[in-house]
Amino acid sequence: MKKMNFKSIAYLAILSGTLMLGSCKKYLDVTSNSTVSADATFGSLNNSQMALTGVYNELAGDYGYGIRLSIYYPQWGEDFKSATGGSGTNSDDDRRSMSAFNSTPVTKPLDQVFTQMYAGIERANICIKYIPKSALYAGNGSSATTMKKLYGEALTLRALFAMELIRNWGDIPFSFVPSEDVPDLYLKNMNRDDIYDHILDDLKTAATLVPWRTESGDPVTRINKAFIKTLRARIALARGGYSLRTDSRKMERRSDYKTFYQIAYDECKDLMTHREQNTINPAYEDVFRSLHPLYRGADDAYHEMIFAVGAGAAANTNAQTDSKLGYANGLVIDDGASYGRSSTLNVALPTYFYEFDSIADSRRDVTISSFKINNANKKLILTATTMTEGKFRRTWSTYTSSGAQYLDIRWPIARFADVLLMFAEADNELNGSPSGAAQSALKEVRTRAYATNLSRMPAVPTDYAGFFNAIVQERLLEFGGEGIRRYDLVRWNLLAAKVAETKAKLRSFADTSAANTGRYSKIPVNVYYTAVSNFSNGTIASEMSTLSLYGGSVSSVLFTPGSASTPTGTTKVAWRAALVPSTYLDDPNYGYAYYFKENLKELLPFSNVATSANFNLAQNPY
């Protein structure tokens, strides 16, 4: 293995502000003939900015949050799963295998993400080493302030890359210095607790160097103090939570876990005293519109979105710095529609639709799209097993060319609703029951969801177990499709229980016999639509209100038994009938979570590429 060459990285960053990934890139192996020096790079404020831009760019693109870390990796919970059928199966070499818990060392996305995260860490390490050595950093003027800000951002980016690696692979090889300073690059797996402890300290430092949003004027795609604190809280909860341990091969949490819940509590409490920076947006839909080019920033005046990964289309083909959000996931649009085509790699579990209140919860139709747009720009109701993510919509982008796949849609990393719910969870854990402040935080999130019908809002529990269960449910409803659920379930040690519970719910959903009197027995086996209605790209509520379902609105038709035969002049669409257990659950090629095994599948295996490149890398059982 070759040593990572600092000069090549700095040169590329200065040259273009991007760090391209070649098809032959190896794990911790980058070389170049560049002769740009560290002094030349970090002796210039502009060049230092460019070097940091190179670190940011490792968040984006196909191998970052542009598709792998957003669409493939997180979809293992009770909300969404990878779409299977046609050319996509649970085969271990297919990206869709990840939501079936069938990843093996040959699964293609494993090496791609793993390598890019390490590239980000290496670039961050270079900035972290050389920025404090710069003469600019040692001064007292505005240049020194800016250099300290860049240093804090680099510390935070390294922590974010590290978090992704740890929560997916557990104990990993790790270095806090550039490769040029590592005598032996064949690193052994490091205990994740040691890495977590280090980056928690880093983030504490970073928060003293990076200003608030209002002080810097930076966009949501640039790290600010609020994101550093939010990330520190999230990492602290992971550090204090359960994880699959290398030594015992069991899900465990450490005895000092409350120390880390206290960190999360303190950080979130501080953020809640700075509502002038970020707070709840009263319109749930607007938070996600703001991620799209048509509404960039305009619909999140409350700054609920604390940090999002930037995307930038370059002739709609930029696999390095853009995202496929809205094309590879989200609202489905057929070929021939005026908005351009989009399909989906993820579908909603039918039972997830019914976790939401049937009438009052405004999050359901934003989170789950129950219709698609056909080639004539008309809306067609989907089957219960083909509903898709709704927070990412090509119709909110500006790229309508049928061949465009990169749509300049940002990926949400942190928003204020998470701050409120992390605070409430930590408070309950530390005190043994929720304080009034914790109850208010949970209620604030719910109040936004039930704003049009507060009488249906559930009561807030006041006991420890009841409140914890309420937090578990609320996070399911609030963050669907945002890549959070899988990691929540792991840190709570609820993944195995929720997979089993969801499988049982899905079987009940599919059981259309008269003997089934369970929670899904009163919903329709099939639904029917009359003349299809035009899609006008209005608000989600207005689009839902004009779906031409026989019998009334979605909130009525999909919650009542409906007609046993096809009414005259209507077209039948399978609802409960669409879920066939022999395929949806029991088929190894297509079944939901088919390969899940407790105390085994909570972590991913390392790819063959990674283990071949580093003989000291201990493989995770799979």
Count of alpha carbons within 13 Å of 618, Cβ hemisphere only? 11
What is the tens place of the pLDDT at every residue in 84-103? 765 678 888 877 888 889 99
Cα separation of 516 and 493, whole Å?
31
**The pLDDT of residue 8:** 38
**The pLDDT of residue 98:** 87
**Structure token digits, residue 186:** 């064949």
Q: Higher model confidence: residue 3 or residue 164?
A: 164
What percent helix, strand, coil does the chain show, rounded to 5? Answer: 40, 10, 50
The yes-or-no verdict on residue 220 having pLDDT over 50 is yes
Percent of the chain topping pLDDT 70: 93
The yes-or-no verdict on residue 179 having pLDDT over 50 is yes
List Cβ neighbours of 400 (8 Å cut-off, separation of 6 or more): 338, 339, 340
Cα separation of 212 and 274, whole Å?
10
The yes-or-no verdict on residue 443 having pLDDT over 70 is yes
Mean pLDDT estimate for the chain? 92
Mean pLDDT across the stretch 562-566?
92
- The terminus-to-terminus CA distance of the chain in angstroms comes to 26
Q: Which residue is associated with the tokens 């999360």?
A: 264
Sheet holding 371-373, edge to edge: 371-373, 378-381, 533-534
**The pLDDT of residue 485:** 97
**The pLDDT of residue 375:** 94
The yes-or-no verdict on residue 45 having pLDDT over 90 is yes
The yes-or-no verdict on residue 490 having pLDDT over 50 is yes
**The pLDDT of residue 421:** 99
**Structure token digits, residue 329:** 């996931």
What is the tens place of the pLDDT at every residue in 520-562? 999 999 999 988 899 999 999 999 999 989 999 999 999 999 9
Cα separation of 615 and 622, whole Å?
18
Cα separation of 478 and 490, whole Å?
18
**The pLDDT of residue 31:** 37
Cα separation of 442 and 115, whole Å?
38
Taking phi first (over 0 means left), then psi (-120 to 50 degrees means alpha), and beta for anything else, what does residue 566 get?
Answer: beta
> Which residue pairs from 218-221 have beta carbons closer than 8 angstroms and sit at least 24 positions apart in sequence?
219/297, 219/310, 220/290, 220/297, 220/300, 220/303, 220/305, 220/306, 220/307, 220/308, 220/410, 221/56, 221/307, 221/308, 221/309, 221/310, 221/410
- For β-strands 526-529 and 571-574, DSSP reports them as antiparallel
Interior/surface letters 585-604, b for 16+ CB within 10 angstroms, e for the rest? bebebbbbbbbbeeeebbbb
Mean pLDDT across the stretch 329-353?
94
Helix, strand or coil for residue 526?
Answer: strand
Q: Which residue is associated with the tokens 């929560």?
A: 167
**The pLDDT of residue 281:** 97
Question: In which band, very low, low, confident or very high, does the pLDDT at 394 lie, cut at 50, 70 and 90?
Answer: very high
Question: In which band, very low, low, confident or very high, does the pLDDT at 484 lie, cut at 50, 70 and 90?
Answer: very high
List Cβ neighbours of 479 (8 Å cut-off, separation of 6 or more): 417, 418, 485
Going by C-alpha positions, the residue among 506, 248, 500 that lies closest to residue 353 is 506
pTM comes to 0.94
**The pLDDT of residue 3:** 40
What is the tens place of the pLDDT at every residue in 47-71? 999 999 999 999 999 999 999 999 9
